[in-house]
Structure 1
Amino acid sequence: MNASASPATNAATAAPLPALSALAGQAGNVPLTRVSLAYIEPQFKLYLRFGEPARTLRLDRWRHCAVFLPGAMFCRIRWQANGYGTVRWQLMVMQACTPLDDVQRIPGVRPGARLLLHAEGENAVRAVLERIDGIDALGITAIDVSPAYWRTLGNRLAARLPLPEYTAERHAAWLAGRVLP
């Protein structure tokens, strides 16, 4: 398990204040995306690597549910093991959508989300985690990264090509493009 990745109980326990005020201001009008999280110590971890849920619900000792507003970016990691070692690594970078957007049905994500990156296997997941750590080292929050970068990273993984780094120049271009009408 990567040391920078943390279980759901640590990554998503506190809800940010702006998201809560957005929820309170539009009670009932905001379509929310619910993401299932679980943590069973020796064999199963389903947790957020990054993302700012509007709310986190604790269902029981092992299960949580993170709730995201439309447009929110998040990364969920699934790790499974049995008595012989790790049997599954999976990483997905997703974006919560509105009811009018096209969404993909993803187990544990209701009603669905826009899948930007999907990595399966230990090597692919570790490579993406290294890119996320590089983004954090630049002082850029991973939820602010361009969705096009996540798609490019996923396509490069699938094609087994070298993975691009996210640079401060690329981020500045993304932010400038968002400001333009």
Structure 2
Amino acid sequence: MNTQSSATTTALPPPLATFSGQNDGAPLTRVLLAYFESRFKLYLRFGEPVRVVRFDRWRRVAVFPLGAIVCRIRWQANDYGTVRWQLMVMQAGLPRDVMQRIPGVQPGARLLLHTEGDHAVRTVLACIDAIEALGIAPVTVSPAYWRTLANRLAAGFPLPEYTTERHAAWLAGRTLS
């Protein structure tokens, strides 16, 4: 029994682990991903993991550095069709930062956007597609835009466009601070 538990422990890096390719020693955020055909999918829409740990053909963990922005989609179905569709855009943080506890995300993350339901998820996916059509990687988009998008979606207001001008202003502000 001890050999089995130690194998499980070594397969999954601890929440505050660092990998040899990471030079600053900052802790990493782990995001659980899963796939059970025709029933359950927990996958990334965008995000740039530093490593992916594969447990078996159905489960894996993507590991992200501090500040990384990630979009994870959860889809569930039963014999009659889709029962849950959820989209989350989150940002990895330090354990001492204010973060939400999100199932399958350790130690947690700042939740920038959370939406559920077919229409809402499709609307956000269309916004992501529009951002990519501009040649902008969604991981580089301003966290404030994701929060604004979430608030507008929840309030039923028109959704803001993410433009190249807005992106240039975000990048310029980042370099100044």
Instruction: With the length of structure 2 as denominator, give the TM-score of the two structures.
Output: 0.87
Gap regions ≥5 residues in structure 2:
1-17
Is residue 104 of structure 2 the alignment partner of residue 108 of structure 1? yes
Q: d(CA) in 2 for partners of 1:22 and 1:155?
A: 37
Letter in 2 for 1:108: G
Deviation, structure 1 residue 61 = 1.3
RMSD: 1.4
Q: d(CA) in 2 for partners of 1:49 and 1:150?
A: 14
Report % sequence identity: 71
Indicate the residue corresponding to 1:179 in structure 2. Answer: 175
Q: d(CA) in 1 for partners of 2:55 and 2:107?
A: 18
Where does 1:119-158 land on structure 2 (aligned, <5 Å)?
119-158=115-154
Gap regions ≥5 residues in structure 1:
1-18
Letter in 1 for 2:50: A
Task: Give the number of equivalent residue pairs.
Answer: 160
Q: d(CA) in 2 for partners of 1:130 and 1:20?
A: 35
Indicate the residue corresponding to 2:37 in structure 1. Answer: 41
- Superposed structure 1 runs of 4+ greater than 3 Å apart: 19-22
Higher Cα Rg, which structure: 2
Where does 1:68-107 land on structure 2 (aligned, <5 Å)?
68-107=64-103
Instruction: With the length of structure 1 as denominator, give the TM-score of the two structures.
Output: 0.85
Deviation, structure 1 residue 37 = 0.3
Matched residue SS, 1:71: coil
